[in-house]
């Protein structure tokens, strides 16, 4: 995700210094016009704005607050924009530690997967001070077509968790409906064409139904990443005493798919879980 996002910033004319554990990704972005930092400390020392895009809360904490991390060399007045999808409480913790160094933070997770990262049309959900949001909205808009302030630090990741609940449940509901149609002898593709313009229509339906019909589960967003996000949902919901009945059920489906070796497949492969159960029940 970070690689195409960096390219879009470069295309918009921003000066960019990059670091990543994947050297091939660094080399590709450098060939596109970026400068390479030797490590995180070097990058932090020479940057006015630092953007992180990492898998989960522990990775962001390590890169920002850990040994050799951003916090060791960051200048007072620097802004950190974390675009990772992590637990909201982790965002708040990181922001509190950075504030001790005179560094402010926005959490700005994204939705849309790699395809929208490539074409710069991500949905970006931001948490932080309004004045910071207004100052850096133009920068964020180089990566996304929708950039919305959702509240204080952590609100961006709360919004992302809500997004991930809705996406997961949508895919599961779509899969359930298509299996029902198939068992009744009705073409799921014809069902899709009939309902997509009505109330059941959605961006999820339009994006994922064709993948199912083509049996194309090349990842735009991997099952293992959705497991990570729903785990953050469940942990946050436990802290807040919020009910997550449907999320818990879809999480079980995703875990079953992971155990079947589908962890690197697109989350539209939830359909394969329904296929598996339908076949077992037919025996």
212 in Cβ contact with 271 (< 8 Å): yes
Say what the pLDDT of residue 114 is: 86
Tokens for 160, please give them.
């992302």
Say what the pLDDT of residue 191 is: 98
Say what the pLDDT of residue 219 is: 92
How much is the pTM? Answer: 0.90
Helix residue ranges per DSSP H, the chain: 2-11, 23-31, 40-45, 57-65, 70-73, 88-99, 113-119, 130-140, 155-183, 188-195, 203-213, 223-240, 245-259, 270-282
3-state SS string for 81-130: EECCCCCHHHHHHHHHHHHCCCCEEEECCEECHHHHHHHCCEEEEEECCH
Tokens for 44, please give them.
């932090």
62 in Cβ contact with 32 (< 8 Å): no
pLDDT tens-digit profile, the chain (283 residues): 999 999 999 999 999 999 999 999 999 999 999 999 999 999 999 999 999 999 999 999 999 999 999 999 999 999 999 999 999 999 999 999 999 999 999 999 999 888 899 999 999 999 999 999 999 999 999 999 999 999 999 999 999 999 999 999 999 999 999 999 999 999 999 999 999 999 999 999 999 999 999 999 999 899 999 999 999 999 999 999 999 999 999 999 999 999 999 999 999 999 999 999 999 887 6
We find that the CATH architecture of domain 158-282 is Orthogonal Bundle (1.10)
Question: Is 160 a catalytic site residue?
Answer: yes
Selected catalytic residue, list 92, 160, 222, 272: 160
Map residue 262 onto helix, strand or coil. Answer: coil
Domain ranges (residues) in the chain:
2-152, 158-282
CATH class for the region spanning 2-152: alpha beta
């Amino acid at each position: 995700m970070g690689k195409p996002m960096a390219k879009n910033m470069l295309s918009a004319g921003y000066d960019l210094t990059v670091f990543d554990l994947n050297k091939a990704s660094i080399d590709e972005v450098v060939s596109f016009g970026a400068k390479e930092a030797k490590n995180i400390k070097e990058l932090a020392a020479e940057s006015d704005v630092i953007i992180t895009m990492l898998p989960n809360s522990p990775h962001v904490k390590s890169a920002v607050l850990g040994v050799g991390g951003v916090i060791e060399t960051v200048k007072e007045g620097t802004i950190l924009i974390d675009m990772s999808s992590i637990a909201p409480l982790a965002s708040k913790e990181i922001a509190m530690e950075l504030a001790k160094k005179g560094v402010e933070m926005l959490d700005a997770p994204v939705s849309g997967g790699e395809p929208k990262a490539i074409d710069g049309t991500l949905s970006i959900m931001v948490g932080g001070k309004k004045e910071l949001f207004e100052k850096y909205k133009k920068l964020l808009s180089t990566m996304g077509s929708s950039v919305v302030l959702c509240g204080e630090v952590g609100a961006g990741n709360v919004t992302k968790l809500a997004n991930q609940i809705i996406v997961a449940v949508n895919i599961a509901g779509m899969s359930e409906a298509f299996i029902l149609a198939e068992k009744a002898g009705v073409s799921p593709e014809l069902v899709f064409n009939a309902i997509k313009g009505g109330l059941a229509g959605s961006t999820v339906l339009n994006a994922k139904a064709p993948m199912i019909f083509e049996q194309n589960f090349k990842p735009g967003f991997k099952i293992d990443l959705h497991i990570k996000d729903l785990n953050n949902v469940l942990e946050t919901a436990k802290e807040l005493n919020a009910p997550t009945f449907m999320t818990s059920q879809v999480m079980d489906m995703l875990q079953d798919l992971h155990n079947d070796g589908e962890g690197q497949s697109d989350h539209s492969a939830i359909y394969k879980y329904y296929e598996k159960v339908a076949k077992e029940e037919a025996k």
